């Protein structure tokens, strides 16, 4: 690795400098975006491996190109490990990322115009769950359920009455900004009542499920479970589809040749490694710690006057209403925290009256920090840094001073692989 980086330094100093700069940014700042993480160090090796050179259209044993002895071996390893770790009947490890992964499921299971019942974007759902701006939103009919006040939890009676009303082909649960655990059995019962397939998109929490810290929708009899591999799982960027055997052929055909050509075999190699590491006891401890850290961070933020959507968290993420808490919108909060070395993202809150680029809140989470080894004691410091930075959002000097403190903390917790 070192030698190829040295080569890059001389052939393209601009790109080389950007990589070094990004490495330093990741080392010296705290990553609080809940969908981000630091990959297992082994993944840097697989990402940069010769598998990136190889075309492998098709599936193990039935490819469209020769020279597949090793690609077949790693894809079979990845598939078998995925099935075992998630207790699934079938796995597809080829989706290039989370979005094509979900698109492939829709293509496999729906006809144009069919209805999907999914969570509203501003209430925690994802763009790929039929947001009007997404391509899938134009092809299929997405009907959206929302969380309900005052506690901000999913109202399952409301989901059921919508399902009875619109008779969806798929009942979809899963989220990017909902800080609560899901009642998979309840979703399954609702879907059964209307004869729909059950799909859980656990992209954010795939690692927490693999580590046994959150419930696995497959155990509740879900037909399809999708997850990205680069978030809480700590793998390369990619997508993983798990499903019942009865859907296997349709799903595989929808991924290739339906949606994609050649899979990224360097990513598939990384997914194989990731699934091996995620089955180890150390990863179980990690998954539990992610949630303990999030709950401690929530408690500390509440104590310092922050208003949290749903009042807390049961998973790895939190949403702060920054308007109510500090009188600043999410964009201002994100920018102030950035100067202080704390990376978060602005976030719409349920039925946000403000536009998406100036929303009412921010979203944050603990997977990346926990990978560095930060624990509950450090969450007290993080809550303190955050609230001080948001209060001092106009005071550049204070924000830079906080970044110095953040650098000090980061120095004690090196990023695995970037020490
Ligand atoms: C991140 C995410 C995706 C999409 O993943 P990309 O790799 O960014 O395309 C899909 N669904 C959910 C719930 C997500 O959080």
Q: Is 54 marked active-site?
A: no
Q: Is 228 marked active-site?
A: yes
In DSSP notation, 311-366 reads GS-SSSEEEEEHHHHHS--HHHHHHHHHHTTEE-EEE--TT-SS-TTS-SEEEEES
* 340-353 residue pLDDT tens: 999 999 999 999 99
Confidence of residue 260 (pLDDT cuts 50, 70, 90): very high
What number of other Cβ atoms are within 10 A of residue 166's Cβ?
13
125 is in an annotated binding site: yes
**CA 35/CA 177 separation, integer angstroms:** 10
* 262-273 residue pLDDT tens: 999 999 999 999
Which ligand 1 atom is nearest residue 100's CA? 9
| Residue whose CA is at the smallest distance from ligand 1 atom 14 | 203
Q: In this predicted structure, what is the pLDDT of residue 1?
A: 47
User: What residue ranges line ligand 1, CB within 6 angstroms?
Assistant: 35, 97-99, 102, 126, 128, 174-176, 201, 203-204, 228
* 153-182 residue pLDDT tens: 999 999 999 999 999 999 999 999 999 999
101 CA to centre of ligand 1 in angstroms:
9
pTM of the model: 0.96
The structural domains of the chain, ordered by start, are 45-278 (3.40.640.10), 284-411 (3.90.1150.10)
Q: Is 55 marked active-site?
A: yes
70, 275 in Cβ contact below 8 A? no
Q: Which distant-in-sequence residues (6+ apart) come within 8 Å of 178 by Cβ?
A: 119, 123, 124, 125, 147, 154, 310
Q: Give CA 168 to chain center in angstroms.
A: 25
Q: Which of these ranges, 131-140, 249-258, 364-373, 386-395, has the smallest mean pLDDT?
A: 131-140
Beta strand 197-201 with 170-174: parallel, antiparallel or unpaired?
A: parallel
Span 300-327, mean pLDDT? 97
């Amino acid at each position: 690795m070192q030698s190829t980086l040295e080569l890059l330094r001389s052939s393209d100093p601009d790109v080389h400098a950007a990589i070094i700069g990004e490495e330093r940014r990741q080392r010296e700042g705290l990553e609080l975006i809940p969908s981000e993480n630091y990959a297992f160090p082994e993944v840097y090796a697989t990402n940069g491996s010769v598998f990136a050179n190889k075309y492998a259209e098709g599936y193990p044993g039935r490819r469209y190109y020769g020279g597949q002895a090793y690609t077949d071996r790693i894809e079979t390893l990845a598939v078998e490990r995925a099935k075992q770790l998630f207790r699934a009947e079938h796995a597809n490890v080829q989706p290039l990322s989370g979005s094509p992964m979900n698109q492939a499921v829709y293509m496999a299971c729906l006809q144009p115009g069919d209805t999907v019942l999914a969570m509203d974007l501003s209430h925690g759902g994802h763009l790929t769950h039929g947001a009007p701006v997404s391509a899938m939103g134009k092809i299929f009919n997405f009907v959206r359920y929302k969380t309900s006040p005052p506690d901000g939890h999913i109202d399952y009676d409301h989901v059921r009455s919508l399902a009875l009303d619109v008779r969806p082909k798929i009942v979809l649960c899963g989220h990017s900004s909902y800080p609560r655990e899901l009642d998979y059995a309840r979703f399954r019962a609702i879907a059964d009542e209307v004869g729909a397939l059950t799909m859980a998109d656990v992209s954010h929490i795939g690692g927490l499920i693999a580590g046994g810290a959150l419930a696995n929708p497959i155990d509740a009899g879900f037909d399809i479970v999708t997850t990205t591999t680069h978030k809480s799982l700590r793998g390369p960027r990619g997508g993983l589809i798990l499903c019942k055997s009865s859907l296997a052929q349709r799903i595989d055909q929808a991924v290739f040749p339906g949606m994609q050509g050649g899979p990224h075999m360097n990513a598939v190699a990384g997914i194989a490694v990731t699934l091996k590491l995620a089955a180890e006891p150390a990863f179980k401890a990690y998954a539990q710690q992610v949630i303990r850290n999030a709950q401690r961070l929530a408690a500390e933020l509440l104590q310092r006057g922050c208003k949290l959507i749903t009042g807390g968290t049961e998973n790895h993420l939190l949403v702060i209403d920054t308007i109510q808490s500090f009188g600043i919108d999410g964009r201002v909060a994100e920018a102030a925290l950035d100067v202080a070395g704390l990376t978060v993202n602005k976030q719409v809150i349920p039925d946000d009256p403000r536009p998406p680029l100036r929303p009412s809140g921010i979203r944050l989470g603990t997977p990346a920090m926990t990978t560095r080894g930060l624990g509950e004691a450090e969450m007290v410091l993080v809550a303190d840094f955050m609230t001080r930075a948001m209060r001092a959002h106009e005071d550049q000097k204070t924000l830079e001073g906080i970044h110095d403190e953040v650098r000090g903390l980061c120095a004690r917790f090196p990023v695995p692989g970037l020490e």
